[in-house]
Amino acid sequence: MKKKQLLTIIIAAVLGGLAAVIAYSALIDDTERTVITQVREPVQMVSLTTALDSSSDFTIAAENTVNAVVHVTTQSTVSYRNPIYDFFYGDRYGGAQRNVEAIGSGVIISENGYIVTNNHVIENSQKVTVVLYDKREFEAELVGTDPTTDLALLKIDADDLHFIPFGNSDVVKVGEWVLAVGNPYNIGSTVTAGIVSAKSRNVGILNDRNLAIESFIQTDAAVNSGNSGGALVNLRGEIIGITSAIVTPSGGNVGISFAIPSSIVEKVVKDLIEYGTVQRAIMGVTIDEVDAELARDNNLDNLEGVYIAGVNTGSAAEEAGIKVGDIITAINGAKVNSPSELQELVGRFRPGDRISVTAKRNGKTQQFSVVLRNVQGSTSVVKAENYDALLGATFGVPDRQERQKLGISGGVKVLEVREGKLRNEEVRSGFIITKINNQQVNSVEELNNILRSVRGGVLLEGVYPDGNVAYYAFGL
């Protein structure tokens, strides 16, 4: 091939390629182009170590807390139906019995042995045993319980213990790193990390819907059932919550757990130590969440605050001038936007305390000064009452042999009858009270707690040593 022909072919090929590029560019819209750039700088991998600064070091919080979380074991006796037992003994004794052991965790909050756990961990137990981080074992005294917050306070006879101080759950933010510390299986304390997923969660797990306070901190830290009563701590190693519940279809961890805020825990603990019972202050209102339907039905401008659906006669709210239809937006300047937030804030106070309530009425903001009351309607602090004198009796707990013989799982035994309501009803010593107003009773403390909440009549159900079941009714 001649040089002239070869040059012509090359020039034609170049011109053809250039024409194709120009035609392609004209047909393709600019928005569909992908631009690829080359970065000449070396690529750097981001590790967890470099991503977290010194304030996010989990090791400090872990070292400060693992030695203050304990393993809790409870023992109780329950009745159950057994065909063989019933064949020989009939149903006179209510069935056979078996010993049940339950486990959980607890948190040491003072060097002299006060321990916080969940009420559901120790509920209906006859014996509570605590195992410390160094494997020492103690039988714990039950100082008091508060079913309305699912908290219980234990005490062991020990000094110079590692303990975890309380932090401020109010300043905890969604997205903040936290650690869940528990001792679920008595293999030593375990630590898992996660973030705060939400605050002021109400998940409807507590029984007393009128007085229950549910304003949980939700976290995705891995938590299993034996962690109940363990600590949720911030990265400074301070208690910001007590683990109480998990959401799980399988019984294992799925990354949704709930903790009682330290603002509630600290108040309950102080009340139980000082008074022997929790000082529950209430406004005396029925509240609803302001959702789209309620806002539409009541011509509300927005979905802020908590709606007052009812005001109890003679209540603190009525006395302060709060009315049905008002929308509470703040307590002592702290904004509230859900019933759980309102319950948590009011639950921090005691009867007789005065709070400032900000509310909207017909679109206008008003301030109310509310003097809180207790559940009895008084502003007085409630003392833990001992009903021995009122009932005219001394009480104890039936031993295991008595319970097995009678086929009962618990009960409170009348040891001695003196002048009082029980003698008036001809109750004799030896009578074992199994239920009060259809509530099972297993300790003298439970007896006092149930009677403290009674308004009017009392129905005692129980059994005598010879197996005869008896019922007694009287008024308080």
Domain residue ranges of the chain, discontinuous segments joined by +: 53-278, 285-371, 388-475
Q: DSSP for 351-398?
A: TT-EEEEEEEETTEEEEEEEE-B-TTS-SSPPP---THHHHTEEEE--
Residue type, 44: Q
pLDDT at res. 447 = 85
Residue type, 256: I
Tokens standing for residue 19: 């024409």
pLDDT at res. 301 = 83
The CATH fold assigned to 285-371 is Pdz3 Domain (2.30.42)
- 120 classed as catalytic: yes
C-beta atoms surrounding 166 within 10 Å: 15
- 228 classed as catalytic: yes
Tell me, yes or no, if the two domains 53-278 and 388-475 fold the same way. no
- 134 classed as catalytic: no
Residues contacting residue 217 through CB under 8 Å, at least 6 positions apart? 169, 172, 196, 198, 199, 201, 232, 240, 241, 258, 259, 260, 261
Residues contacting residue 391 through CB under 8 Å, at least 6 positions apart? 420, 421, 422
pLDDT at res. 2 = 54
> Rounded CA gap, 162 and 64, in Å?
9
> Rounded CA gap, 349 and 346, in Å?
6
> Rounded CA gap, 407 and 96, in Å?
6
pLDDT at res. 164 = 97
Residues contacting residue 101 through CB under 8 Å, at least 6 positions apart? 73, 74, 75
* Catalytic residue (one of 197, 215, 228, 338): 228
Burial of 225 (0-12, 13-18, 19+ CB in 10 A): middle
pTM given for the model? 0.69
One pLDDT digit (tens) per residue for the chain, 476 residues? 555 565 566 566 655 655 554 554 444 444 332 222 233 333 333 333 334 444 567 998 999 999 999 999 998 766 555 555 455 555 444 455 567 788 999 999 999 999 999 988 988 787 899 999 999 999 999 888 888 889 999 999 999 999 999 999 999 999 999 999 999 888 788 899 999 999 988 766 665 545 667 789 999 988 877 889 999 999 999 999 999 877 665 555 566 889 999 999 999 999 999 888 888 889 999 999 998 999 888 888 888 999 999 999 889 999 999 999 999 999 999 999 999 899 889 989 999 999 999 999 988 999 999 999 987 688 887 666 666 667 888 888 887 788 888 989 889 999 888 777 898 899 998 999 999 988 888 888 788 778 876 766 889 999 999 999 999 988 86
> Rounded CA gap, 365 and 423, in Å?
58
Q: Cα(first)–Cα(last) distance of the chain, in Å?
A: 124
The CATH fold assigned to 53-278 is Thrombin, subunit H (2.40.10)
* Catalytic residue (one of 71, 76, 120, 326): 120
pLDDT at res. 440 = 87
Q: What is the CATH number of domain 388-475?
A: 2.30.42.10
Residues contacting residue 447 through CB under 8 Å, at least 6 positions apart? 387, 395, 412, 433, 436, 441
For 167-177, b/e burial (b = at least 16 CB within 10 A) is bebeebeeebb
pLDDT at res. 177 = 95
From 458, 446, 444, 449, select the one nearest 415 (Cα to Cα): 444
* Catalytic residue (one of 146, 150, 220, 271): 150
Residue corresponding to tokens 């079913």 = 147
